[in-house]
């Protein structure tokens, strides 16, 4: 049974003068070894861990980590249990419980977090403060773990998590950030497999109230026949690739994606490939420059009551064998592909109960409750710097733009250090008064480029662009710079390989 509040009818995509993108930026309990299921191996034993006096055996650890017992939305915002497919029994488990019943331990250093993640026994790991890795590391995670941020401000910097052939893992209430390699927006360098979380051939995974931003490759990848997965109340922001699922010819993955906020990203929002059952509801997609929700190959998707705002190609079922059931979604200032429903897909309510909020309410709900405690937005500095040598506040222009919250009205200067910035640049229409400028005053020193299409789209009113060059990876007859905002000024700007419109 589905618990529903009032649902709006699907609204046709209607572009505004400023959402251009039309010429476009391309773009229960612990699991035993015998119960891991096909293709999932038992955890590798590690040396016995020595626990501090903080260790305890106290349930799921949510109270110890200071997580709320919220009554908002009928208790669904900070629920003690996942909604959707991660809640279901299968492959030897009654549901997703993480490290509940194991020792509760506390990680404050990279060494502690590394050791706890790779332990063979069930653990609840409570993360405290900022855990910074000197060099990027993808931490190997074994089965039966809960990773919980303590209160507000817990974060993992310059590291990610790798789940390979395991089961029963929970991530809640912390940030994973900043493994981005400046200059590698596409994430194609051989040393840039720097995901926030990589999940391969694993099951019963719950990722909830997390914040992923500015990683090297994808923010989160779910690959190679995973099953019983739920992503809920997360924020994915300021990056190229947000969420990918697939990397397999098999059609087995069951995944729920609800109440997430994806903002200022380019692609994979999410990209769902050969998913047996993908249930996507009550998500907020905002300011996306390549494509929004994408079903590939034989994906079967149910897409309900989501809010798409300023998204290019908001909803696309790409291949003829895929199926899409879409209802109650709102599309504001969107352009491009918006696939019509086709096929039956599946009925989520035959698998589990869930609360469906109205699409109109989604921006406010998700904006208030998604992500870890403490929120994911703050007022930017008056001057934000970007540098390809790592000396700036950010390593990409997209991240710098993302540091300016939607609706922020005070002037902000984004100052670019010398070099070639190979990424699509968008000054979104919900951000006004931004100045984008080269730092040297010489337009030839700071060059923006992208492989083809529009390299620089200026949709924000009152934007000033100065002291830089804009080009494309190939000579084209279309626009390289496109202006749709009002009161936009250009000073000492050189446009190459295309037109300025």
pLDDT tens-digit series, residues 255-305: 999 999 999 999 999 999 999 999 999 999 999 999 999 999 999 999 999
Task: Please state, as a whole number, how many other Cβ atoms lie within 10 Å of the Cβ of residue 152.
Answer: 12
Cα angle at 405 between 480 and 9, to 5 degrees?
85
Judging by DSSP bridges, how do beta strands 479-483 and 446-449 pair with one another? unpaired
Distance of CA 90 to the CA centre of its chain: 27
Residue 35 banded pLDDT, cuts 50, 70, 90: very low
For 211, residues 6+ apart whose C-beta sits below 8 A from its C-beta are: 174, 175, 176, 177, 234, 235, 237, 371, 372, 376
How far apart (Å, rounded) are the C-alpha atoms in residues 417 and 132?
25
Per-residue confidence at 72, pLDDT binned at 50, 70, 90? Answer: confident
The pLDDT score that the predictor gives to residue 23 is: 33
**Least-confidence region, from 58-72, 76-90, 232-246:** 58-72
Cβ proximity of 202 and 40 under 8 Å: yes
DSSP 56: B
pLDDT band at 73 (very low <50, low <70, confident <90, very high): confident
Which H helix or E strand runs over 284? Answer: strand 284-288
Q: What is the mean pLDDT of the chain?
A: 89
pLDDT band at 105 (very low <50, low <70, confident <90, very high): very high
Interatomic CA distance for residues 248 and 412, integer angstroms? 44
Does residue 5 carry a pLDDT above 50? no
φ and ψ at 5, to 5 degrees?
A: -100, 180
Q: Please choose, from the candidates 426, 467, 427, 473, the residue with its C-alpha nearest in 3D space to the C-alpha of residue 449.
A: 473
Q: CA 362, CA 237: separation in Å to the nearest integer?
A: 17
Q: 300 forms bridges with which residues in the sheet?
A: 323
Which residues are paired to 229 by β-bridges? 205, 255
**3-class SS string, 176-205:** EECCCCCCCCCCCCCCCCCCCEEEECCEEE
| Burial class, 416, CB count within 10 angstroms (exposed 0-12 / middle 13-18 / buried 19+) | buried
pLDDT band at 26 (very low <50, low <70, confident <90, very high): very low
Q: Which DSSP string do the residues of 288-315 spell out, in sequence order?
A: ESS-SEEEETT-EEEEES-EEEEEBS-E
- Judged against a pLDDT cut of 90, whether residue 501 lies above it is answered with no
Between CA 32 and CA 43 the distance in angstroms is 9
Q: Chain centroid to CA 44: how far?
A: 30
Q: What integer pLDDT is reported at residue 117 of this predicted model?
A: 98
> How far, in Å, CA of 415 to CA of 397, rounded?
9
* Residue whose tokens read 């996507």: 280
Looking at residues 176-192, what average pLDDT do you find? Answer: 90
Predicted structure pTM score: 0.90
Q: Do residues 141 and 116 make contact, with C-beta atoms less than 8 angstroms apart? A: no
Query: How much of the chain exceeds pLDDT 70, in percent?
Result: 88
Statement: residue 34 has pLDDT above 60: no
CA-to-CA dists, residue 85 to 23, 88, 302, angstroms: 38, 5, 13
User: What structural domains and CATH numbers belong to the chain?
Assistant: 9-369 (2.160.20.10), 383-500 (2.160.20.10)
- pLDDT tens-place string over residues 379-433: 999 999 999 999 999 999 999 999 999 999 899 999 999 999 999 999 999 999 9
Report the pLDDT averaged over residues 127-146.
98
How far apart CA 196 and CA 77 sit, in angstroms, is: 23
CA distances to 259, 272, 323 from 295, in Å = 19, 5, 8
Q: Mean pLDDT, to the nearest integer, of 145-165?
A: 98
Distance CA 269, CA 267 (A): 6
450-490 pLDDT, tens digit each:
987 899 999 999 999 999 999 998 888 889 999 999 999 99
Q: Which two tokens stand for residue 450?
A: 């992208």
Q: Are 8 and 433 in contact (CB under 8 A)?
A: no
**Residue-level pLDDT at 189:** 86
């Amino acid at each position: 049974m589905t618990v529903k509040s009032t649902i709006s009818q699907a609204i046709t995509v209607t572009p505004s003068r400023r959402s251009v993108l039309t010429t476009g930026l391309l773009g229960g309990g612990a699991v035993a070894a015998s119960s891991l299921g096909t293709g999932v191996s038992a955890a590798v034993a590690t040396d016995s861990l020595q626990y501090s006096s903080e260790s305890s055996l106290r349930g799921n650890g949510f109270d110890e980590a200071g997580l709320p017992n919220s009554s908002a939305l009928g208790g669904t915002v900070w629920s003690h249990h996942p909604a959707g497919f991660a809640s279901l029994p299968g492959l030897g488990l009654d549901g997703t419980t993480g490290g509940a019943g194991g020792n509760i331990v506390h990680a404050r250093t990279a060494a502690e977090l590394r050791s706890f993640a790779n332990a063979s026994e069930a653990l609840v790991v409570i993360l405290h403060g900022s855990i910074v890795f000197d060099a990027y590391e993808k931490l190997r995670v074994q089965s039966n773990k809960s990773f919980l941020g303590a209160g507000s401000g817990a974060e993992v910097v310059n590291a990610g998590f790798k789940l390979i052939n395991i089961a029963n893992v929970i991530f809640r209430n912390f940030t994973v950030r900043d493994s981005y390699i400046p200059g590698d927006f596409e994430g194609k360098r051989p040393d840039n497999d720097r995901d926030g979380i990589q999940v391969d051939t694993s099951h019963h995974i719950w990722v909830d109230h997390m914040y992923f931003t500015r990683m090297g490759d994808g923010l989160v990848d779910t690959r190679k026949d995973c099953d019983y997965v739920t992503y809920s109340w997360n924020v994915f922001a300021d990056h190229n690739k947000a969420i990918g699922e697939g990397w397999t010819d098999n059609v087995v993955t069951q995944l729920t994606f609800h109440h997430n906020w994806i903002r200022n990203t380019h692609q994979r929002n999410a990209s769902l490939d050969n998913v047996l059952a993908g249930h996507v509801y009550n998500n907020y997609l905002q300011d996306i420059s390549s494509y929004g929700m994408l079903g590939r190959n034989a994906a079967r998707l149910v897409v309900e009551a989501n809010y798409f705002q300023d998204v290019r190609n908001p909803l696309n079922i790409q291949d003829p064998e895929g199926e899409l059931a879409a209802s109650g979604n709102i599309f504001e200032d969107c352009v491009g592909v918006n696939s019509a429903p086709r096929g039956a897909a599946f009925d989520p309510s035959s698998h589990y109960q869930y609360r469906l909020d109205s699409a109109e309410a989604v921006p406010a709900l998700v904006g208030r409750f998604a992500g870890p405690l403490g929120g994911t937005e703050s007022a930017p500095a008056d001057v934000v710097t970007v540098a390809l040598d790592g000396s700036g506040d950010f390593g990409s222009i997209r991240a710098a733009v993302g540091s300016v919250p939607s609706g922020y009205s005070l002037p902000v200067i984004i100052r670019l250090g010398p070099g070639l910035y190979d990424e699509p640049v968008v000054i979104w229409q919900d951000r006004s008064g931004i100045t984008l400028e080269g730092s040297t005053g010489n337009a030839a020193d700071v060059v923006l480029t992208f492989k083809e299409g529009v390299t620089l789209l200026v949709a924000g009113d009152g934007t000033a662009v100065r002291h830089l060059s804009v080009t494309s990876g190939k000579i084209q007859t279309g626009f390289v710079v496109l202006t749709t905002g009002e009161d936009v000024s250009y000073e000492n700007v050189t446009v190459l390989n295309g037109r300025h419109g």
